[in-house]
């Protein structure tokens, strides 16, 4: 991968393949000859974890990898910090070839470059909340006063002030997840990997955590690789989404690209059940170009559900860019067309 190309990307994967089993290269050859994941498994006992995955993840993005159970999401994310070595392919983080790192470099990389938030929280059971949050900083050699101060601040940010001395088992699942998030944020790495971090939470608490992650991200501008099997969650928090199936990337795009133009029948199945009014943003369906000023206007990032009520009183609604300048306009008809496109067939 050329230096110039890598500059804008936090994470790049090129043709990454992972086969679990005793003779992965032999199995890879069979895969290349057109064997399916299921056939390879039943005939040779090898499991395809990832199949020829190439991804470019820009800095400062929340990049979501979405797919059903067993599609390879955890396998993918674990390649980024090299908890798993690929059978083939290239992986770069911040322009550095992860596969060439020796043990010492890898340890430093995991301490300073990437942190990971796990689904099952991964907290140390006998340590208090504040000691859990400060733990990563301790391994990095930060002095006690400094790490306690940083930990206390992150605990407050995630809404857990007052729980500093509690043990993990004294907290609810949602609170434990907040401790896990605070611990990752305290490390202040540019890249955060989140593997199904919110999946164990109740819907309401989960939605609150998503909102909190989005608002934190606005201030922090990290690169977040977020794994989920929930398409609604992917649409809500992803700047870009990759859909995985049987270890292979099916489609990569902005949430509305996927909702408006699903690449195949598998993705269409997900799209059928989503709240399209929430998923589709005004900017992707508006009429661009100069137009008369409209009485009512919304930001280009507004969702269809935000603009719909305005059509009760207005035929046209203006669309504004970040500077408040009108860059287009939209009608109820355009919104309805976008929402109706992939509606399930009646009957």
Interface residue with ligand ATP among 6, 17, 74, 115 (CB under 6 A) is 74
Confirm or reject binding of residue 86 to ligand ATP (CB under 6 A).
no
Pairing of strands 326-331, 316-320: antiparallel
| Strand order across the beta sheet in which 114-117 lies | 114-117, 191-195, 223-228, 62-66, 240-245, 248-253
Distance from C-alpha of 226 to C-alpha of 294, rounded to nearest angstrom? 38
Output DSSP code: residue 258: H
Counting residues that bind ligand ATP (by CB under 6 A) gives 12
Binders of ligand ATP among residues 226 to 255 (CB under 6 A) are: 229
Stretch that binds Mg ion, among 72-80, 248-256, 317-325, 330-338 (CB under 5 A): 72-80
At its nearest, how many Å lie between Mg ion and the CB of residue 51?
Answer: 16
Tokens of 271: 């799209």
Interface residue with Mg ion among 6, 61, 74, 115 (CB under 5 A) is 74
Of the pair 6, 228, the CB lying nearest Mg ion is at 228
Stretch that binds ligand ATP, among 73-81, 161-169, 172-180, 317-325 (CB under 6 A): 73-81
| 255 touches, from Mg ion, ligand ATP, none (C-beta below 5 to 8 Å by class) | none
Q: Residue 150's CB: how many other CB atoms inside 10 A?
A: 19
Interface residue with ligand ATP among 61, 71, 87, 223 (CB under 6 A) is 71
Of the pair 27, 114, the CB lying nearest ligand ATP is at 27
At its nearest, how many Å lie between Mg ion and the CB of residue 73?
Answer: 5
DSSP-based three-state secondary structure for 265: helix
Q: At CA 238, angle to CA 6 and CA 212, rounded to 5?
A: 115
Confirm or reject binding of residue 69 to ligand ATP (CB under 6 A).
yes
Residue where the block lists tokens 């989960």: 206
Distance from C-alpha of 158 to C-alpha of 155, rounded to nearest angstrom? 5
Binding site for Mg ion (CB under 5 A): 74
């Amino acid at each position: 991968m050329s230096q110039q190309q890598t500059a804008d990307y936090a994470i790049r994967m090129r043709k990454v393949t992972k086969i679990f089993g005793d003779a992965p290269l032999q199995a890879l050859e069979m895969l290349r000859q057109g064997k399916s994941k299921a056939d390879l498994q039943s005939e040779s006992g090898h499991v395809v974890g990832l199949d020829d995955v190439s991804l470019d993840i820009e800095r400062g993005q929340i990049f979501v990898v979405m797919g059903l159970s067993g599609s390879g999401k955890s396998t993918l994310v674990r390649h980024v910090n090299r908890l798993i070595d690929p059978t083939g392919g290239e992986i770069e983080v911040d322009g550095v070839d992860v596969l060439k790192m020796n043990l010492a470099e890898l340890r430093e990389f995991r301490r300073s470059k990437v942190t990971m938030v796990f689904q099952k929280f991964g907290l140390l059971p006998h340590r208090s909340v504040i000691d859990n949050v400060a733990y990563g900083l301790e391994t990095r050699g930060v002095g006690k006063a400094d790490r306690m101060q940083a930990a206390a601040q992150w605990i407050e940010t995630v809404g857990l002030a007052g729980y500093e001395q509690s043990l993990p088992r004294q907290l609810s699942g949602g609170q434990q997840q907040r401790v896990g998030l605070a611990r990752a944020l305290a490390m202040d790495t540019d890249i955060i990997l989140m593997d199904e971090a919110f999946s164990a939470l109740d819907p309401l608490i989960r939605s609150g955590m998503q909102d909190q992650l989005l608002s934190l991200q606005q201030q922090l501008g990290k690169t977040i690789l977020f794994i989920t099997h929930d398409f609604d969650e992917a649409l809500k928090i992803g700047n870009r989404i990759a859909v995985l199936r049987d270890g292979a990337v099916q489609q990569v795009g902005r949430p509305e690209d996927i909702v408006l133009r699903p690449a195949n029948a598998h993705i269409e199945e997900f799209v059928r059940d989503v709240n399209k009014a929430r998923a589709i943003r005004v900017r992707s369906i508006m009429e661009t170009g100069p137009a008369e000023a409209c009485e009512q206007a919304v930001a280009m990032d507004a969702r269809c559900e935000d603009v719909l009520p305005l059509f009760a009183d207005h035929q046209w609604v203006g669309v504004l860019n970040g500077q408040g300048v009108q860059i287009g306009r939209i009608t109820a008809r355009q919104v309805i067309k976008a929402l109706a496109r992939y509606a399930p067939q009646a009957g």
